[in-house]
Structure 1
């Protein structure tokens, strides 16, 4: 160490600016990681809303024609900007009586008529950008068809 650099180090050691610089250098990576995690969370929330909206679009189409399940599935897939390679659409019909008891759609109810429903479920496999896990997001809509 040269004799001229010793006073410089002593001044740096007692300087408030140096303390601020060190604190800033320690906090920036922590805040950056937190910000990236928040960004991933926002993307997940947006994709979840997109799935819910897509299943509602499929349910609206099912009100027009509930017999064509392949077109309902296509409507759900076309209603979202998500990658369709990671998107699965499941359509299930189920029936129940007026009292809420489940039956097969071919049966009759003792308490009245049979109510038919359609459940449209969209499942999306999401790979976050900064978090090394795979998440499965699901959106679902149920509509009465009869």
Structure 2
């Protein structure tokens, strides 16, 4: 699965109420067919990949556009401690993902990315050094705004 995802130039996931993570490590000893039987498609929570598929670093060598929108249960892109590199990623839109606390558990390299759009109100988006800190800053600003109301 990871190999197929690495070939994408655009990844858009919209309006899936049950999706919790994009990539998740599968426990050793559980086959892919067993995992698919255990999770019916309408209740998709993750795109599961086998431990053997997850390396120390995953490079999305073609991805230019990443959009994750309308995913209320999405907590992270990946729960596996793994480095990610997105050498050509230019646009990230993360809208209506209120449960997202972090993008990933390890280093993320996105040299071309200059901004992230986190709400439908933003024309320009914003950036705070890396994707994880940008998400954290947005959550902090949102919670401060909610507490003032």
Q: TM-score, structure 2 length as denominator? A: 0.19
| Structure richer in helix, relative to its length | 1
Higher-Rg member (1/2): 1
| TM-score, length-scaled by structure 1 | 0.20
